[in-house]
């Protein structure tokens, strides 16, 4: 088939023309490259691979030299404009392009060209730089250097929108620390941004809103200085922009206000502004473009962890609106993810929200999202499930332990993305806390075996979350289920997990043992399997526990073991008194003296079980404890500030007096 596009040169041909000696050929090739890559990500990639970026950067550099030598002005400007535009397009929304432009050394040349007398050159260069600064790969701008600050001020003061826009985007990208924020404030930058808010064009207002939000983030001091009396009432100009006719401006204004709210307890706390923000963001969901995609994320940042706002949002029918949007289907993945995360935040604390969610049948739609092709959506669906399954009422009714949810969820255990795996495990951890007899469904669909597999994962977060799910699964489960888990896990795996390098994994492993041996006396035999592997591991881990939580779970595990028979209690005693090096002190005393009240409680409980009056070996054990100074330590805790500790201490002392204390 003959090619009909005879006048279209192949990319490699174009590239070679870029190095042509004839300026006419060169500039035409340059323009052609630019026109082919604009809007076309695929072409950007293919030209990139052919080495187009260094070639174009070279043309830019050569043209700068021509400028300084005052050669043919028009031609030179044309080269400058086209090469800058091409570089800008390579960098536009395309990280590989940004990296290539930086690697080709074009950045300093672009900066120099900002001072060029020709307007079109300056526009093209400013745009290219702004594209670079929209990427995470942009070079860090050091605001703390005086001349850098002056340069930034000159950019913001420029009458050209492209240049002042560049200044704003540098701030938005590079301003990170409180120190930098303060430096920007001290240099009067905020005043300048505020004037752009009130008197600037649409793009200047938007850019200004983004920069202000960056400078305000987590900095209550700068916020109160800005909102203070000297600059009039600048917060009101931002509030007005939240009602602007352009959706993007409304969104950016809301985001700025949310940043202010979250950083500073003094501003924007009245119910009027809270309600307004909720309504505006919910209404922005109707925007079909990028604004509507980002609106749910802004909504999340507004309500996350804040019950009062969640309540207001519930009254504003937020859940209905989100439901309505998901139902429509064929959502952009970013929007889908945002809405799911917003629903997760809504249901994270309030049962009223969860009830509303479940009554609207949103659960089925979320279950569908578990199989979406986009990883972010899948993870968000799991996070949403985790929030909703906090509903104890529905957990107890066995509402979630059904195949529509469990089967796709278990499939996600094998997801290629770690974050999806961890999110799925998080949701599972809640669902398996099922007080009905339906836990077997989870075993039937292979969930339990999968969890054990994941406990061997290379990723520590996956290991610890898998153990967490198993821990919840065996919580008050029947013996048969527990035996099933234990035989799948094996004593050697469990003991090695107790001794895992990661503290979070150790903690969950010990908690799992605690739940496994809780209840029936036969289950306690688990810790003695294979020559007491698990018991030994617990003992060794308690001696070098790196944080209180490990001690707590370990002691409760021992406490449960000690609730068995004499043999069990003697084994625990032996563990408590194993010396490590030349320490005379058992870790028991250390735990009893801990600042953590839960650790003290768990330890005293264990002593309670060891000295239970009905057991024949109790007096002997009590003597040993007395000799080790443990009893006197406990006596000192009679007035412990924690009630739980105080009560258990009294029990121990009561029990010791039954054997005749002196």
Partner 1 sequence: MSLFWIVIRRLAEIEEIMATSKKVITREEWEKRLNDVKIRKEDMNKLVMNFLVTEGYVEAAEKFRMESGTEPDIDLATISDRMAVKKAVQCGNVEDAIEKVNDLNPEILDTNPQLFFHLQQQRLIELIRNGKIEEALEFAQEELAPRGEENQTFLEELERTVSLLAFEDVSNCPLAELLDISQRLKIASEVNAAILTSQSHEKDPKLPSLLKMLIWAQNQLDEKAAYPRINNLSNATLEDPTV
Nearer to partner 1, 240 or 308 (CB): 240
Q: How far is the CB of 387 from partner 1 (least distance, A)?
A: 28
Spell 345-375 as b/e; 16+ CB within 10 A means b: bbbbbbeebbbbbbeeebbebbbebbebeeb
Round to whole Å and give the CA distance between 18 and 220. Answer: 53
Binding residue for partner 1, selected from 92, 281, 469, 630, defined by CB under 8 A: 92
What is the secondary structure of 381-448 as a DSSP string?
A: HHHHHHHHTT-HHHHHTT-S-SHHHHHHHHHGGG-S-HHHHHHHHHHHHHHT---SSTHHHHHHTTHH
Q: How far is the CB of 34 from partner 1 (least distance, A)?
A: 7
Binding residue for partner 1, selected from 116, 204, 541, 655, defined by CB under 8 A: 204
Binding residue for partner 1, selected from 98, 101, 124, 138, defined by CB under 8 A: 124
The reply on whether position 201 binds partner 1 by CB under 8 A is: yes
Candidate segments 18-26, 142-150, 195-203, 229-237, binder of partner 1 by CB under 8 A: 195-203
Binding mask 5-44 for partner 1 (x = CB under 8 A): x-------------------------x--xx--xxxxx--
Round to whole Å and give the CA distance between 642 and 628. Answer: 24
The reply on whether position 364 binds partner 1 by CB under 8 A is: no
Strands (E), 212-347: none
Nearer to partner 1, 241 or 485 (CB): 241
Round to whole Å and give the CA distance between 531 and 573. Answer: 17
Candidate segments 123-131, 302-310, 414-422, 456-464, binder of partner 1 by CB under 8 A: 123-131
The reply on whether position 164 binds partner 1 by CB under 8 A is: no
Q: How far is the CB of 385 from partner 1 (least distance, A)?
A: 25
Site size with partner 1, rule: CB under 8 A? 29
What is the secondary structure of 30-85 as a DSSP string?
A: HHHHHHHHTT-HHHHHHHHHTTHHHHHHHHHHHHHHHHHTT--HHHHHHHHHHHHH
Q: How far is the CB of 26 from partner 1 (least distance, A)?
A: 17
Nearer to partner 1, 93 or 105 (CB): 93
Residue 398 main-chain phi, psi, to 5 deg: 70, 30
Residue 653 main-chain phi, psi, to 5 deg: -65, -40
Nearer to partner 1, 40 or 546 (CB): 40
Binding mask 282-301 for partner 1 (x = CB under 8 A): -------x------------
Nearer to partner 1, 3 or 614 (CB): 3
> Which residues make Cβ contacts (< 8 Å) with residue 88, sequence separation at least 6?
124, 127, 128, 129, 130, 131
Nearer to partner 1, 170 or 474 (CB): 170
Contacts to partner 1 from residues 465-484, by CB under 8 A: none
Nearer to partner 1, 88 or 408 (CB): 88
Binding residue for partner 1, selected from 76, 83, 89, 655, defined by CB under 8 A: 89
Binding mask 128-157 for partner 1 (x = CB under 8 A): ---x--------------------------
> Which residues make Cβ contacts (< 8 Å) with residue 326, sequence separation at least 6?
336, 339, 340, 362, 365
- Are the C-beta atoms of residues 602 and 642 closer than 8 Å to each other? no
Round to whole Å and give the CA distance between 12 and 133. Answer: 29
**Tokens 């994962």 belong to residue:** 457
The reply on whether position 202 binds partner 1 by CB under 8 A is: yes
The reply on whether position 330 binds partner 1 by CB under 8 A is: yes
Binding residue for partner 1, selected from 23, 93, 108, 654, defined by CB under 8 A: 93
Nearer to partner 1, 38 or 304 (CB): 38
Rounded (10°) angle between helices 146-157 and 189-199: 10
Q: How far is the CB of 286 from partner 1 (least distance, A)?
A: 17
The reply on whether position 3 binds partner 1 by CB under 8 A is: yes
Round to whole Å and give the CA distance between 588 and 600. Answer: 9
Round to whole Å and give the CA distance between 572 and 483. Answer: 22
Residues at the interface with partner 1 (CB under 8 A)? 1-5, 31, 34-35, 38-42, 85, 88-89, 92-93, 124, 127, 131, 161, 201-204, 289, 330, 332
């Amino acid at each position: 088939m003959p090619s009909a596009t005879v006048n279209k040169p192949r990319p490699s041909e174009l590239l070679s023309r870029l190095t042509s000696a004839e300026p006419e050929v060169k500039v035409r090739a340059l323009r052609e490259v630019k026109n082919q890559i604009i809007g076309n990500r695929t072409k950007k990639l293919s030209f990139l691979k052919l080495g187009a970026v260094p070639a174009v950067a070279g043309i830019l550099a050569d043209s700068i030299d021509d400028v300084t030598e005052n050669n043919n002005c028009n031609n030179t400007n044309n080269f400058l404009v086209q090469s800058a535009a091409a570089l800008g397009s390579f960098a536009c929304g395309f990280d590989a392009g940004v990296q290539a432009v930086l690697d080709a050394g074009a950045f300093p040349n672009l900066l120099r060209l900002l001072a060029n007398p020709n307007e079109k050159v300056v526009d093209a260069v400013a745009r290219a730089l702004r594209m670079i600064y929209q990427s995470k790969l942009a070079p860090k701008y050091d605001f703390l250097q005086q001349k850098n600050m002056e340069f930034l001020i000159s950019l913001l003061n420029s009458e050209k929108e492209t240049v002042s826009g560049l200044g704003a985007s540098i701030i938005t990208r590079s301003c990170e620390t409180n120190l930098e924020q303060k430096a920007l404030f001290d240099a009067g930058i905020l005043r300048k941004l505020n004037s752009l808010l009130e008197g600037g064009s649409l793009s200047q207002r938007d850019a200004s809103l983004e920069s202000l939000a960056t400078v305000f983030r987590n900095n209550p001091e700068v916020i109160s200085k800005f909102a203070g009396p000297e600059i009039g009432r600048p917060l009101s100009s931002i509030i007005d922009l939240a009602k602007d006719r352009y959706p993007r401006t409304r969104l950016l204004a809301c985001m700025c206000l949310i940043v202010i709210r979250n950083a500073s307890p003094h501003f924007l706390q009245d119910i009027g502004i809270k309600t307004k923000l909720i309504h505006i963001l919910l209404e922005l969901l109707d925007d079909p473009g990028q604004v509507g995609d980002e609106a749910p994320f802004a909504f999340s940042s507004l309500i996350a962890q804040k019950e009062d706002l969640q309540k207001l949002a519930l009254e504003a029918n937020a859940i209905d609106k989100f439901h309505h949007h998901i139902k429509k289907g064929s959502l952009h993945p970013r929007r889908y993810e945002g809405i799911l995360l917003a629903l997760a935040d809504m249901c994270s604390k309030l049962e009223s929200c969860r009830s509303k969610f479940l009554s609207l049948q949103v659960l089925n739609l979320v279950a569908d999202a578990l199989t979406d092709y986009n990883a972010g959506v899948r993870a968000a669906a799991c996070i949403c499930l985790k929030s909703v399954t906090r509903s104890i009422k529905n957990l107890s009714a066995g509402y979630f332990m059904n195949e529509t949810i469990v089967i796709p969820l278990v499939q996600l255990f094998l997801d290629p993305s770690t974050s999806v795996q961890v999110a799925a495990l998080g949701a599972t951890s809640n669902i398996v806390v099922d007080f009905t007899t339906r836990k077997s469904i989870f075993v039937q669909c292979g969930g339990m075996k999968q969890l054990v597999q994941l406990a061997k994962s290379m990723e520590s977060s996956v290991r610890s979350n898998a153990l967490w799910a198993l821990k919840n699964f065996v919580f008050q489960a029947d013996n048969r289920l527990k035996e099933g888990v234990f035989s799948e896990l094996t004593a050697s795996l469990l003991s090695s997990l107790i001794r895992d390098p990661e503290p979070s994994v150790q903690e969950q492993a010990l908690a799992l043992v605690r739940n496994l041996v809780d209840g029936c006396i036969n289950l306690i035999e688990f810790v003695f399997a294979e020559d007491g592997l698990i018991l030994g591991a617990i003992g060794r881990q308690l001696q070098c526990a790196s944080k209180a939580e490990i001690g707590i779970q370990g002691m409760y595990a021992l406490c449960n073991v000690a609730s068995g028979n004499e043999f069990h209690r003697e084994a625990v005693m032996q563990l408590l008194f194993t010396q490590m090096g030349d320490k005379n002190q058992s870790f028991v005393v250390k735990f009893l003296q801990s600042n953590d009240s839960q650790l003290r409680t768990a330890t005293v409980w264990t002593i309670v079980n060891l000295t239970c009056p009905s057991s024949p070996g109790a007096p002997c054990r009590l003597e040993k404890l007395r000799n080790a100074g443990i009893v006197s330590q406990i006596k000192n805790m009679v007035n412990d500030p924690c009630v739980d500790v105080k009560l258990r201490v009294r029990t121990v002392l009561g029990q010791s007096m039954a054997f005749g204390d002196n």
